[in-house]
Amino acid sequence: MTTSAELFEQACRHIPGGVNSPVRAFKGLHRPPVFMESAKGAYLFDVEGKRYVDYVGSWGPMITGHADPDVLGAVRERLDKGLSFGTPTAVETTMAELICEIIPSIEMVRMTNSGTEATMSAIRLARGFTGRDKIVKFEGNYHGHSDSLLVKAGSGALTHGEPSSPGVPAALAEHTITLSYNDIDEVERCFEEIGSQIACIIVEPVAGNMNCIPPSADFLKTLRQVCDRHQSVLIFDEVMTGFRVALGGAQAHFGVTPDLTCLGKIVGGGMPVGAFGGSREIMSELSPLGPVYQAGTLAGNPLAMAAGVALLTKLKEPGFHKALAQRVETLCNGLESRAREAGIDMITQRVGGMFGVFFTAQSSVENFAQATACDADAFRRFFTAMLEQGVYLAPSAYEAGFMSSAHTPEDIQVTLDAAEKAFAQMTT
Ligand code: PLP
């Protein structure tokens, strides 16, 4: 049997760092990544046959669990008709109608192949629509790896200590203004000074790439107000939160309506998909209706659409998100009480189906500075102890955790038992 360590060594010969996306590399965790072979429901199975209760869910899409029979069935049904035609297909319209029905602020939507393309295209559209160059983002928010947005970013860029990547031209980065998440005064000041030059604000309405940080009361509302005041476009990057924190995403959960919304992850049911959409007025600026160019050879790929439509349709079942949030609540409360009993400084934060675990003595974590001040070594020890006991958490202190409807009370109990042992090990 080939082990994960052997496979990783082999992978490193021809793949930079052995991985096709940096956060998979387990950097900073002092161990090679685990190579997975298959997955079903709440579980991942590695190449050595070990089972893990999974709280990563392919970084978000697997909200009903892995290998969902309805999603796989929809893909199988399309498969024999061909993989891609480079022409319009009816299933793309089905997807667009479904998205517009679930998220009312989206009147028109364009599909892409990734979340990165969705945010990159939304930024271009906002710039084209307003005729302005500057954009505002928040420190520790990650919106994919396009040049304009890879400035003081979260996720892998943060784990690897390179918030701004070499290769991003300074002239381009100059147009990206980075403010502190949840700092209303800073946003107000920035817009008072140069509001007329700002094309858009892009924000993760719940930050999930510097662990899990909910917006403070009035943060999102303030963003809406300043954008209205200065005719800037408000973009919610709901690649992570869309269909997860509520069916209608964070905008439904918090009752704040953006101009443009970026989607990814769940919208593709596990296939490589992104999307961005918004008001008819702004979206009509897109090519071929308008002058702002955006395209994709495989965008709206019928197999990917079939997977996404099948998954979104399931999520419309009444009570789905309430039950999901309840599972997160049970897990987080259980982790906190076990940490308390063990005398470990740890808190959790959650919104709907996403959560974060912070090793800190603070009662809440509200921004990048506080997130990065948490005890990274305690996280590393916790992660390793959980992995050894068959619980797969995100391999970085700066990533949110994801629950699925396939996680049973028994799975949560297994997780809490493992955490109890992990905390005990951490105190010895
Ligand atoms: N936006 C957010 C909020 C994300 O979490 C991510 C990826 O994790 C992206 C954008 C980029 O999406 P993708 O990795 O599909 O390019």
Task: State residue 161's pLDDT score.
Answer: 47
**Is the minimum distance from the CB of 372 to ligand 1 under 6 angstroms?**
no
Alpha-carbon distance of 167 to 52, in angstroms, equals 37
Range 148-160 average pLDDT? 71
Alpha-carbon distance of 149 to 162, in angstroms, equals 13
Task: State residue 249's pLDDT score.
Answer: 98
Which candidate in 54, 237, 259, 411 is catalytic?
237
Ramachandran region, residue 260 (left: φ > 0; alpha: ψ -120 to 50; beta: rest)? beta
Q: Are residues 343 and 199 part of one domain?
A: no
Q: Are residues 295 and 146 part of one domain?
A: yes
Tens digit of each residue's pLDDT (9 = 90 or more) over 23-62: 999 988 889 999 999 999 999 999 999 999 999 999 999 9
Last residue of a domain, one of 315, 342, 374: 315
CATH label of the domain that carries residue 34? 3.90.1150.10
Last residue of a domain, one of 315, 331, 351: 315
Task: State residue 398's pLDDT score.
Answer: 94
Q: Are residues 352 and 234 part of one domain?
A: no
Q: Are residues 344 and 256 part of one domain?
A: no
- pLDDT at residue 163 is higher than 60: no
Task: State residue 165's pLDDT score.
Answer: 82
Tell me what the pLDDT averaged over the chain comes to: 96
Alpha-carbon distance of 163 to 173, in angstroms, equals 12
Q: Is 237 a catalytic residue?
A: yes
Task: State residue 224's pLDDT score.
Answer: 98
Tens digit of each residue's pLDDT (9 = 90 or more) over 175-195: 999 999 999 999 999 999 999
CB atoms within 10 A of CB 193: 11
Q: Are residues 295 and 163 part of one domain?
A: yes
pTM: 0.97
Range 121-133 average pLDDT? 98
**Is the minimum distance from the CB of 244 to ligand 1 under 6 angstroms?**
no
**Is the minimum distance from the CB of 143 to ligand 1 under 6 angstroms?**
yes
**Is the minimum distance from the CB of 142 to ligand 1 under 6 angstroms?**
yes
**Which of 142, 146, 243 most suits a substitution to test ligand 1, by most atoms within 8 Å of the C-beta?**
142
Q: Are residues 300 and 248 part of one domain?
A: yes
Which pLDDT band holds residue 155 (cuts at 50, 70, 90)? low
Q: Are residues 210 and 124 part of one domain?
A: yes
Residues 6+ apart with CB under 8 A from 72: none
Task: State residue 151's pLDDT score.
Answer: 80
**Is the minimum distance from the CB of 261 to ligand 1 under 6 angstroms?**
no
Q: Are residues 105 and 236 part of one domain?
A: yes
- Examine the predicted complex and report whether its ipTM is higher than 0.85: yes
Task: State residue 172's pLDDT score.
Answer: 85
Q: Is 68 a catalytic residue?
A: no
CATH label of the domain that carries residue 103? 3.40.640.10
Q: Are residues 253 and 120 part of one domain?
A: yes
Last residue of a domain, one of 255, 282, 315: 315
Q: Are residues 192 and 79 part of one domain?
A: yes
- pLDDT at residue 162 is higher than 50: no
Tens digit of each residue's pLDDT (9 = 90 or more) over 218-245: 999 999 999 999 999 999 999 999 999 9
Q: Are residues 35 and 46 part of one domain?
A: yes
Share of the chain above pLDDT 70, in %: 97
Which candidate in 55, 142, 392, 398 is catalytic?
142
Domain count, the chain: 2
- Residue owning the nearest CA to atom 1 of ligand 1: 143
Mapped onto helix, strand or coil, the DSSP state of residue 233 is strand
Q: Are residues 133 and 28 part of one domain?
A: no
Task: State residue 169's pLDDT score.
Answer: 85
Task: State residue 171's pLDDT score.
Answer: 85
Task: State residue 168's pLDDT score.
Answer: 86
Range 254-272 average pLDDT? 98
Q: Structural domain of residue 201, as residue ranges?
A: 69-315
CA end-to-end distance (rounded Å), the chain: 34
Q: Is 142 a catalytic residue?
A: yes
Task: State residue 250's pLDDT score.
Answer: 98
Task: State residue 404's pLDDT score.
Answer: 98
Alpha-carbon distance of 268 to 234, in angstroms, equals 24
Of 390 and 160, more confident? 390
